[in-house]
């Protein structure tokens, strides 16, 4: 991928991927989405289907069991899944960009050989243990600690809001922990791989959330958890810096998911506006309804352009932090705005949970919070401008 590409100009392999995932989303994901949302159940069959398609291995090299694709391919898949079910889309996004990508980017050869084949195949999921009850973007607030005792790390602390951390196929959580202080007395943050089932590693009850009800999210606690010294991921003291790189990439993926939501709301509204009649004619004949949907399409198009541009910069090796923040902010706001307008277009039916726009209305708010709030994105953009 080089330079800006519109959807119509995508190379054939990207177009084929989009079409394949779109068909899967329509025929496999959509029919069970409302039930999983209603029951708050993790969609294991859907996840297996995505695994069989190779979606969990899209951006990873074939030597580690991946598909040999790139991050943009992952984004295209997330956009198509996001149109019909955000819970399924975030399960894939978190598994790849937060669970497996840190090991791919910063792991030793031994760590890659041990973990990536399982994660890339979708047979296992990984979690990303950064956020704590009193710390998220604020690294200085991290209180989880890891202390070397001989050849083992001893970890104590807690994490919260951790996606894919409590499923039957969760294999590990990468934990950010304080491992000392630097020369200036600041906390030294490192990251350590903690396999599921390690004594002292406890997964709390699933959260009762406003949305993303089929996504697996738990608080975690670590009480004298011991793992081998070799489980350090990346250099000691570089954990937070490495996580920031992962979050920069992840913002492009979240933007792609949000674009799928924004476009999905447009598609649902176009269909509904043609089918639903009031006062003897389709409601889409009313200019107010047509203009509302037209504005929704403009938001989706603008957001897609932003994430395509950020992805192109990332894959070409150029600085992309500002563009990733812009894409994430624009796309998450587009998703939220389109979900609200889409619900309004559907009228009373938009307030019924079986309609996709109603789930998007509940689900979309977190897109403006996760992977850095809108306010954090504004801070990063301003900082990059020298302000």
* C-alpha to C-alpha distance for 120 and 195, rounded to whole angstroms: 16
Residues with Cβ within 8 Å of 331's Cβ and at least 6 positions away in sequence, in order, are 254, 255, 256, 258, 259, 262, 303, 304, 306, 307, 367
- Least confident segment among 124-138, 209-223, 257-271: 124-138
Mean pLDDT of the 371-378 span: 93
The whole-angstrom separation of Cα 155 and Cα 346 is 50
CATH domain 241-384 topology: Butyryl-CoA Dehydrogenase, subunit A; domain 3 (1.20.140)
pLDDT tens-digit map of 36-64: 999 999 999 999 999 999 999 999 999 99
pLDDT for residue 4 is more than 60: no
Q: Class of the 7-125 domain?
A: mainly alpha
**CA geometry: angle at 44 spanning 41 and 49, to 5°?**
140
The residue ranges of every structural domain in the chain are 7-125, 126-237, 241-384
Structure tokens at 145: 């600690």
CA distance 157 to 174: 13
Q: Identify the band that residue 183 occupies on the pLDDT scale cut at 50, 70 and 90.
A: confident
pLDDT at 2 exceeding the cut of 60: no
- pLDDT in the model for residue 214: 97
Choose which CATH entry (3.30.465.10, 3.40.50.300, 2.50.20.20, 2.40.110.10) describes domain 126-237. Answer: 2.40.110.10
- Catalytically annotated residues: 371
**What does the block give as tokens for 57?**
């291995």
The mean of the pLDDT values for the chain is 94
pTM of the predicted protein model: 0.95
Which tokens belong to 7? 């959807």
At 103-155, the pLDDT tens digits run 999 999 999 999 999 999 999 999 999 999 887 767 678 999 999 999 999 99
Q: Assess whether pLDDT exceeds 70 at residue 3.
A: no
Residues paired with 147 in a beta bridge: 154
The mean pLDDT of 252-264, rounded to a whole number, is: 98
């Amino acid at each position: 991928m080089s330079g800006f590409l519109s959807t119509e100009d995508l190379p054939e392999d990207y177009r084929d991927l989009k079409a394949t995932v779109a068909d899967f989303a329509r025929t496999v994901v959509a029919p069970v989405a409302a039930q999983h949302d209603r029951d708050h159940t993790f969609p294991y069959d859907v996840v297996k289907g995505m695994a069989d398609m190779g979606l969990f291995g899209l951006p990873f090299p074939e030597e580690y069991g991946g598909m040999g694709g790139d991050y943009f391919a992952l984004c295209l898949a997330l956009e198509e899944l996001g149109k019909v079910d955000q819970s399924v889309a975030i399960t894939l996004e978190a598994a790849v960009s937060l669970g497996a990508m840190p090991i791919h980017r910063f792991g030793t050869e031994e760590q890659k050989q041990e973990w990536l084949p399982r994660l890339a195949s979708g047979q296992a999921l990984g979690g990303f243990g950064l956020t704590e009850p009193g710390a998220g973007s604020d690294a200085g607030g991290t209180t989880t600690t890891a202390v070397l005792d001989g050849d083992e790390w001893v970890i104590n602390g807690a994490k919260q809001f951790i996606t894919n951390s409590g499923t039957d196929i969760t294999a590990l959580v990468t934990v950010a922990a304080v491992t000392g202080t630097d020369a200036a007395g600041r906390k030294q943050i490192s990251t350590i791989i903690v396999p599921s089932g390690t004594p002292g590693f406890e997964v709390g009850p699933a959260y009762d959330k406003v949305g993303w009800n089929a996504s697996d999210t738990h608080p975690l606690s670590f009480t004298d958890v011991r793992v081998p010294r070799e489980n350090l991921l990346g250099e000691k003291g570089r954990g937070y810096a490495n996580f920031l790189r992962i979050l920069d990439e992840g913002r492009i993926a979240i933007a792609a998911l949000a674009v799928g939501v924004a476009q999905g709301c447009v598609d649902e509204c176009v269909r509904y506006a043609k089918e639903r009649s009031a006062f003897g004619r389709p409601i889409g004949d009313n200019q107010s309804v047509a203009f509302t949907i037209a504005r929704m399409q403009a938001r989706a198009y603008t957001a897609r352009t932003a994430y395509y541009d950020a992805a192109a910069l990332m894959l070409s090796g150029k600085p992309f932090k500002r563009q990733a923040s812009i894409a994430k902010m624009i796309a998450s706001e587009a998703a939220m705005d389109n979900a609200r307008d889409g619900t309004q277009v559907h009228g009373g039916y938009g307030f019924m949970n079986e309609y996709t726009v109603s789930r998007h209305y509940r689900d979309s708010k977190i897109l403006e919070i996760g992977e850095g709030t809108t306010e954090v994105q504004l801070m990063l953009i301003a900082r990059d401008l020298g302000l």
